[in-house]
Amino acid sequence: MPTLLHHTLDPSSRLVRLMLAEYGVGIELVETAPWRREPEFLDVNPAATVPVMFDEPFPPIVGILATIAHIEANFGPEGPVESLLPENAGEKAETWRLLEWVLIKLGNEVTGYLLEEKLIKRAMRSGSPDPAVLRIAKANLGEHLAYFSWLLATRRWLAGDTMTLADFALAAHFSTLDYMGDIDWDKAGEAKDWYARIKSRPAFRTLLADRVVGMPASRTYTDLDF
């Protein structure tokens, strides 16, 4: 069984876990705190990011893009499960566009800041969250929610009629933000209905059992009817 070096609240690790669960692939999870930059971790990934997947006999698969490519090539869906990367050229391009949006834009403008201020500073004992940064990240989150709600007003799933990797990527970020209590669901519009739908999938169950010691999940985190 492959092993995933991850952190519980890291959204890219969560995306990989969702993807593997959806494809029915078992994985052994090993938790790490990438921000500690421990030498043996930096030997594997000098960029000090997770996920890192170990899948013998392959060399370590480092980073979210490499892991997505590896899973698609080696653990493709079987039986009734559809691939999370559509065959159709238009839907495939839309999936990659939104994947990039989530991984880079949402990550840089929202999730990265909030994890740094709320989780990493606490874990590193390097001060309390900076209210100015939290305010900017929350304002940015409002704009992202508005965009995704606008998109989901005319589409069942993010990239179109079928669920794709873009849905799981956004759901992974939402789950991290929701754990920390950063999403005001009353203002989330269509994005709330979409998240309720994806949160009910069997693949989501493992995420909902996650806990970070000393940092309880928000009231809505496990609630499927939030």
CB 150, min distance to a copy of itself, A: 9
To a copy of itself, the closest distance from the beta carbon of 226 in angstroms equals 27
| Residue 143 CA to its chain's centroid (Å) | 19
Cβ 83 vs Cβ 74: under 8 Å: no
Nearest to 55 by CA among 18, 14, 1, 6: 1
Q: Which is nearer to a copy of itself, 181 or 189 (CB)?
A: 189
Rounded Cα–Cα distance for residues 144 and 132 (Å): 19
Distance in Å, CB of 34 to a copy of itself, minimum: 13
User: What's the min distance (Å) between Cβ of 63 and a copy of itself?
Assistant: 4
> Could you tell me the smallest distance in angstroms from the CB atom of residue 144 to a copy of itself?
10
213 backbone φψ class: left, alpha, beta (φ>0; ψ -120 to 50): beta
Given the rule CB under 8 A, which residues bind a copy of itself? 45-47, 58-66, 69-70, 73-74, 89-90, 92-97, 99-101, 103-105, 108, 147
- Would you list the DSSP string of 138-187? HHHHHHHHHHHHHHHTS-SBTTBSS--HHHHHHHHHHHHHHHTT---GGG
**Cβ closer to a copy of itself: 147 or 226?**
147
How many CB atoms lie under 10 A from the CB of residue 43?
9
Comparing CB distances to a copy of itself, the nearer of 111 and 199 is: 111
The smaller minimum CB distance to a copy of itself, of residues 37 and 211, is found at: 37
Q: Which two tokens stand for residue 185?
A: 């669901």
Residue 24 or 46 with smaller CB distance to a copy of itself: 46
